[in-house]
Each structure stands twice: as structure tokens, then as C-alpha cells.
Chain A
Amino acid sequence: GQNIDQPTEMTATEGAIVQINCTYQTSGFNGLFWYQQHAGEAPTFLSYNVLDGLEEKGRFSSFLSRSKGYSYLLLKELQMKDSASYLCAVTDSNYQLIWGAGTKLIIKP
């Protein structure tokens, strides 16, 4: 079966760095997405990786290793507003999006 694994919950301190991991087993691979979802709000797009390596976008970076079926989202200089759920999703060989259950990130002062 197809599966996306990510931690259920993580806690970090304001100003610090946190890494949210995502591992996947899918039938084929056509890209990996990270979305951010604040409580009671719509998921919003953060990043897209289709080739191996690191994609940096301001305080957020996303890394992909296709051979390991692994990605991480790196958040630097954490702010209280970064408290949210972070969803990992993979596009399989049929271009279907397979979703993880999300990681709830709690930022403490």
C-alpha cells in the first residue's frame, strides 16, 4: 500500500530551528509537497520538490532524497505564528496526491 509517515506532534522554542521529517512509500513519484494549515484555516502551499536536494524559501527550506523516500521541512528563526500543522503529500505515478496525517507544531515562548 501507499503510505506517508510524519510525526504527530512536535514542540519547539521561539527563535530556534525545527526539522519536520516525512518518509514515504508510494507507487512511483512525481513530486512532494509541503502545506501549512493553521487551526480553522485552509491548507496553504509551502514548497514543492521533485529533484533531490534542498529548496530554500526565506525561513523555510525543504529537502528531498528520492532514493531514501525521505523529505524534511526546516523552519528557522521560529515565530509564534509558525504554530500550525504541516502536511506532507506525494504525487504518485498516476499523479494522485497521497497525504500524510500532518505534524502539529507547537511553538513556545
Chain B
Amino acid sequence: ETGVTQTPRHLVMGMTNKKSLKCEQHLGHNAMYWYKQSAKKPLELMFVYNFKEQTENNSVPSRFSPECPNSSHLFLHLHTLQPEDSALYLCASSQVDQGFNTGELFFGEGSRLTVL
């Protein structure tokens, strides 16, 4: 496996379900990100982890809960979601030097989430 892999690629869930999205990066990077991508809107940064520590939470509702057990793995736990949460959820990684991200992001192919 190379690059950034995400599972599942597609997920349909009801509003009362609990599910998790998984991301794994094989690039040796020290930062990982969750983005939300909705049609015709800019990418929305949700969470950032540098060296396994969460450094950003951009006012994301608590029904989204991230977990970063190590620098290669990132999870997004989903609970009691709303239909408006239906979107493509992208994971990305990068190499951060002295706290500053000056390099490119490497994205996974995303998990397409549909909330019924």
C-alpha cells in the first residue's frame, strides 16, 4: 500500500447509527487532516493532528469525533448525524516543519457519506 488510503469508500447510515471512517498514510508524514467536501463549496477543514496531537477543531459539531492513535492512522467517529452531513470526507497528510505546513497535502480518495 502506498499514499493515503481511506475506508470505506462509500457509507450509508441512518441518523441514529454509529460508524467510523478510517484513514491510513504510508508516507511517513507527521500531520493528518480531515476535510469535508460538499458540492460547489470550498474544502472545509475539520480537524488537524500534528505529531498525534489535535491542533485544530474548526467548530465541528460533537457528533464528529476524531481519533489519532499514531502518526499513521486517523479515524473519524460518526454518531447521530444529520442529512446535511452527507458529503465526501477527505483525509490528507503532510510533513510539517517546526509547526508550519509549507508543503503539499496528499489526499486519500475520500469516503462518500450519505445520511438518511
**A97 in contact with B102 (CB, 8 Å):** no
**B: which residues have CB within 8 A of A?**
4, 40-43, 45, 90, 100-102, 104-110
Q: Which of A4, A45, A95 interacts with B105 by CB under 8 Å? A: A45
Interface residues of A in 12-52 (CB under 8 A from B): 30-31, 33, 40-45, 48
Chain B residues touching A, majority SS: loop
Q: How far is the CA of A40 from the CA of B104 in the complex (A)?
A: 20
**B42 in contact with A4 (CB, 8 Å):** yes
Whose C-beta in chain B lies nearest to the C-beta of A48? B104
Closest 5 interchain pairs by CB? A42-B107, A99-B42, A45-B104, A99-B43, A42-B109
Q: How far is the CA of A59 from the CA of B12 in the complex (A)?
A: 40
**A101 in contact with B100 (CB, 8 Å):** no
**B104 in contact with A33 (CB, 8 Å):** yes
Q: A4-B42, A8-B40, A97-B45 are in contact. Are A41 and B101 (CB under 8 A)?
A: no
Nearest CB of A to B30, in Å? 14
